[in-house]
Structure 1
C-alpha cells in the first residue's frame, strides 16, 4: 500500500453521478470516469436496444472544473453517451483505448465550432503508461496540476465471455499512481476476476478500487458483461484494497444487479483503514475516502 493515508488525511474523494460515471479527485486532478449525462432514453431498436432509466445526479454543466476523462470504451452508450461524449471532448485530456481514440478523433473532426474539442485524446493499449506530469504528452494544463511522478496505466479488461471479445469490442481499465498519493484502480467494463488477479500480481499495492458491477446482461448473450456482486467482492479481495466504490449498478435497464446486491455481498467486510470496505457513496454527494 502507499503511505498516502499517513501523510494526507483525505487524499481521495469521489462523487458518484450514476451508472459508470463518477468524479474522482486525486492528486489535484479532477477526473471523470465513463461520462454518461443523457436524459433517460433508448439507444438502438428492438431486442438490441439499451434503455437508460434515469439521468445524472449532477448535470455536466454543474460539475465545475474537470481535467480529464477516462473512457473505458467508446462504443457502448452506457459507458459513453451523446452528452458524455460532448463533455469528454471539451476537456483538456481524454484517455481511452486506441480504437476509442480513433473514433473520438473522427467525432472531433466532424464537430462544429459550437462544441469545444479536447486538444489531446490519447489511445493507450494494455499496460501502456501515460505520464500525467509530462506536459509534452498530456498538455500543460493537466501536467501543471498532476503530482510529480503521476502515472496512468491502461489495463486489460474482459467485457463478457472471452470468446466474444472481438464481437464486444476493446475495453480497458485504468490505474492511477504517484509517490505519496493513493493508488487507484478503475475497472471499466470488466467481468473477469482472473483479469483482476493478473492486475493485482503486477500492481500489488492498490489502495482503492472503483469497480464496475451490475452484472450487465443482454438477451443475445447468456453471461454477465460486467462484474457480478460476488465477483466484485472477489476482485476487491484479490487487489487487497482498503476501500471500494461500486459503479455501474443503476440507471440502465440491462443491469441485472443493483447496489443493494453489492452491499449484501460486502456486508461484514471491514477496511484496514476502519469502517466498511465498501464506501457509502450517495449519488451527487462528494465523499472523502479515508485510506
Structure 2
C-alpha cells in the first residue's frame, strides 16, 4: 500500500487556485475549499476537462468547510470533488443541492448565513449571495432559475478580510446588488473565462467574460481580485491573457492577482 501524501501546510490569510474553479482558502485558522474538481482530464458528455488539478485532494484532507456553488455541472463539482466534499465536516451549497447531496450538506438561500467557530475563538460567517448562471434574458426554469440554481458566497469575520466568491455568475446587475448590500469586500474570487456551451443561450457566456470581470472588479472596489474558472475545461473561451488585457484596459491591473496553479496568493494587497 502506498504512503498517503502529507497534508499541505496551512498558509493563513492566503488562497490557492488548484485548477478550474477550485480554490483553497486558509482563513481565520480554517481551511475552506470552494467548488472542488479533482478528476484527471476526461469527457463528461458535453463538457471536457483538459487539465488535472495542480494539487490532489488528499493534501487537503484537513478541510473544515467545502463551498459548492452548484452541484449540477461537472466543471464545478466533478466525481473526485464530490467524493472529497462528502467527507468534509460541512458542505454549504444551494438549497436544491443540499437535498440531492444529503449530509454533510446544508443549503443556504440567498442572503442566508451560517457561522463557524474559529480556532482563535472568533467566528467566520458565510453569507450566500445571488448568482445568475447565464444571460439576464435567458429562459428560466420552473423555479425561476437561469440554467440552474447557483449561489455565491461572502466570508466575513472580525479581523479577517471579507472575501466574495462569485460562483458561476454572468450578471453585472447581481454584482451591483451584492456590492450595495456588502460594500467593503477586500477579495473578489471571480468565476471568469466566458464559459460557453453549445446549444445554450445562443452560446452567450454563462459565466463572466473578461470585460465583465473587470467591470465587476470596478463595482466591488476590491483591492485583490483572483480570477478562477478560466482554464482546464474546453468550454472556457477566455483565459488569463484575455483577463489580464481587460483589466489593463480598465486601469485595474494593480488589483489582479494571478499565479501558477498550486501557488499561494496573499488575501491582503
State the TM-score, normalized to the length of structure 2. 0.89
Q: Is structure 2 residue 111 aligned with structure 1 residue 127?
A: yes
How many Å separate the matches in 1 of 2:191 and 2:134? 13
| Secondary structure at the counterpart of residue 181 of structure 1 | coil
Match of 1:86 among 83, 86, 90: 83
Distance verdict in 2 for CA 1:147–1:165, change over 3 Å: farther
Distance of 2:177 and 2:240 partners within structure 1: 26
Query: What is the rounded CA distance, in whole Å, between the counterparts of 1:34 and 1:69 in structure 2?
Result: 8
Aligned position for 1:289? 267
Name the SS for the 2:162 alignment partner.
Answer: strand
1:38 matched to 2:19? The reply is: no
| TM-score, with length taken from structure 1 | 0.82
Deviation at 1:63, TM superposition (A): 3.0
Aligned partners of 1:214, 1:190: CA distance in 2, in Å? 11
Give the alignment's Cα RMSD to 1 decimal: 1.8
> C-alpha separation between the residues in 2 aligned to 1:244 and 1:224?
20
Consecutive unaligned residues of structure 1, counting only runs of 5 or more, are: 1-9, 106-118, 133-142
Moved over 6 A (4+): 268-271
Secondary structure of the residue aligned to 1:90 is coil
Matching residue of 1:24: 25
Q: How do 1:172-211 residues align onto structure 2 when only pairs under 5 Å count? A: 172-211=151-190
* Cα distance between partner residues in 2 of 1:146 and 1:21: 26
Which stretch shows the higher mean deviation, 159-168 or 175-184? 159-168
| Structure 1 or 2: more helix by fraction | 1
Higher RCO, 1 vs 2 (CA within 8 Å, ≥6 residues apart): 1
- Taking the aligned partners of 2:119 and 2:71, their CA distance within structure 1 comes to 26
Aligned residues: 252
Q: Secondary structure at the match of 1:250?
A: coil
Label 1:182 to 1:126 Cα distance change in 2 as closer, same or farther (>3 A): same
Contact 1:11 1:290 in 2 (8 A): no
Q: Superposed, which structure 2 residues align to 1:249-260 within 5 Å?
A: 249-260=230-241
* In 2: Cα distance, 1:269 partner to 1:181 partner: 28
